[in-house]
Amino acid sequence: MTTPVKVAVGPQEKQILIDQIPALKGKKIMIIGDICVDEYVLGQVRRISPEAPVPVLEVEEEDVRLGMAANVAQNVVSLGGEAILVSVVGNDTGANLLRDLCAKNNVNSEYLVTDNTRPTTRKTRVMAKHHHLVRVDYELKRHLSEETEAALIRKVEESVVQADCVVIEDYAKGVVSRNVIEKVVLICKQHKKRVLVDPHKTSSGPFYKGVDLIKPNYDEALTLAGMDFDELRENPNKVVEVGRALQKITGAKEVVVTRGKDGMTIFSDDEITEVPTYARKVFDVTGAGDTVIAALSLGLVSGLSLVHSCMLANYAAGVVVGKVGCVPCEIPELIEYIKTVH
């Protein structure tokens, strides 16, 4: 079994990444998957309710942001690229709000499909400073109808020629089915477009068969590979075995296993490389995976190697975990972060 090569990030690698950032500008990434509106109710807790043993939040601020695949799209834009968002929304105020947020964040939303039978997914997080008190979800978890799924695939066919690569972002809300993956992979092969997938932990490896690159975290990788979760979860030394199994099951030549504080393990054909994490402080990991896949895809289509693309993605994730909620990584702060974090 191949031993992973550990890569340290020195001044030369940092300069390669910084020099490449202008090349991200204008690269077009198609993002297909579940989207939502993330709502935040922020304030302070100073007392317990007299009505029930629960904290009373004194609201100081409310905020709405793009979430799930739409957060990937806004990260692509904030890093200099262009995002083509293909997904499904309801015919409701949530859809109007989501489209407004897309316009505000320069995300192309013209390829969204409207389904009158589904609500637009919304997630409301009630928070005291950096602490989550409760989350309220408005959603309908079920597969798309044949009609809506066909309309989604037509949107991909119409717009894929514009894209430099395609990202499938699966949050298991119903947009990403095995049929959608098969059709998207076929379309992308015809147009010679690379397909990356950010998988969901409830799926199995064969569900994503045919993609070029898959980016699970370690827990997701165990489930996708059909390996004993309880036995191996606390045994990170098995990551090579897990990654190799995932390559075989999905047929993906490239597997990137994100491992939190342990960085990333990258499988590319027969080569295995490990890169460290660059998170200086962690307030909230919400949306960090979205930032990673956005930066990774932009790095690849701009000409960076897979390893350097993963380094760039790790730095971008390090920026956003120091904030609260789904917040995109901006270029100036990314450059500063690369320069200053060791």
Full set of structural domains in the chain with CATH: 5-34+79-117+142-340 (3.40.1190.20)
Q: What's the pTM value of the predicted model, to 2 decimals? A: 0.90
pLDDT at 329: 87
Known catalytic residue at 290: yes
One digit per residue, pLDDT tens: the chain, 342 residues? 567 888 877 888 899 999 999 999 999 999 999 999 999 999 999 999 999 999 999 999 999 999 999 999 999 999 999 999 999 999 999 999 999 999 999 999 999 999 999 999 999 999 998 788 999 999 999 999 999 999 999 999 999 999 999 999 999 999 999 999 999 999 999 999 999 999 998 887 789 999 999 999 988 998 898 876 555 555 556 888 889 999 999 999 999 999 888 889 999 988 999 998 876 665 556 668 899 999 999 999 999 999 999 999 999 988 887 766 667 889 999 999 999 886
Cα separation, 21 vs 24, in Å, equals 5
Cα separation, 215 vs 267, in Å, equals 10
pLDDT at 310: 95
pLDDT at 9: 78
Which entry of 34, 164, 284, 290 is annotated as an active-site residue?
A: 290
pLDDT at 194: 97
List b or e across 231-264, with b for residues whose CB sees 16 or more CB atoms inside 10 angstroms: ebeeeeebbbebbbbbbebbbbebbbbbbbeebb
